[in-house]
Amino acid sequence: MSGITEHLMQLGLSEYEAKAYIATVVLGEGTIKEISDESKVPRSRAYDVMVRLLEKGLVELGNTNPRCYRANDPAEVFGHLIEDMEKARDEVVKALEELGSTAERRDNPIWTIKGEWAIDHKVAEMMESARREVVIISIHNDYLRRYAKIVAAVSEKRPVTVVILEGSGDFIGMLGWSRLLCISEGKLSPPEPFISNAMESLDKGKEYDVELIMVCDREVSVILSKERSGHRAIISSGTVVDYFINRMMDLTIMEAKECGQSR
């Protein structure tokens, strides 16, 4: 039930509105008291909550005493709600693009990204826009599993090399035409020392664990790390960091052994 509540909240309902609507669906129809008891929404708040749901078109009000509410069909209600949200999204995007079209952009070579969607979007964008090659070192394989389909698709168009520290057999057949290499963890020089010195965006003393390193066209690199506060991606282009990462990539590939082609 909590999962449904969270999804309804993502569609714009408050927590009480979501719980009250779910309760109304469960009951079929109910009074304020019945809806309050079922949803655990305080009785003192339930009336205002149901008025808001009525105004949003999620419920109907029966002409009875005491007042009785019933839920409108969820598919129709939320189909209409999503249409309204999509219209609002299109208008907002258009307006923001117009505002940003004249904005000045600084040439910053290093960027930090947080948030799963933003990281996934950036990694996919980098791989798909690579012109010559993509090289990946997978230290922990959660990210590689997550991006396996993208890696496989990109490998159809340009060379992709994947170096895996552990569990290479798990990826046979998953990464398309990618070249698979294996290496023991002891032979991989960790990037943390020079990154912590070269990149002010990392807080000193903050624990983090590098999970995946990727370089596109030997020009742009991304380091994906897991931290106490979540995940972080550091994008670098044309810096000393890229030099060290490319050097580490070359040394790692020299030490690695062929695991065969993914396909």
The CATH classification number of 110-261 equals: 3.30.870.10
Q: Which two tokens stand for residue 191?
A: 């990037």
The pLDDT tens digits for 40-62 are 999 999 999 999 999 988 999 99
> How do 179-182 and 220-227 pair as beta strands?
unpaired
Rounded Cα gap, residues 250 and 237, in angstroms: 18
Q: Which two tokens stand for residue 60?
A: 């109907």
pTM > 0.75: yes or no = no
CB 198 within 8 A of CB 229: no
Q: What pLDDT is stored for residue 199 in this prediction?
A: 41
Statement: 2-73 belongs to CATH 1.20.58.100: no
CA-based R_g, the chain, Å? 26
Confidence band, pLDDT 50/70/90 cuts, at residue 107: confident
Q: What pLDDT is stored for residue 139 in this prediction?
A: 87
Confidence band, pLDDT 50/70/90 cuts, at residue 187: low
The pLDDT tens digits for 134-167 are 999 998 888 999 999 999 999 999 999 999 986 6
Q: What pLDDT is stored for residue 192 in this prediction?
A: 47
Domain boundaries for CATH 3.30.870.10 within the chain: 110-261
Burial level of 125, CB count in 10 A (0-12/13-18/19+)? Answer: exposed
Domain boundaries for CATH 1.10.10.10 within the chain: 2-73
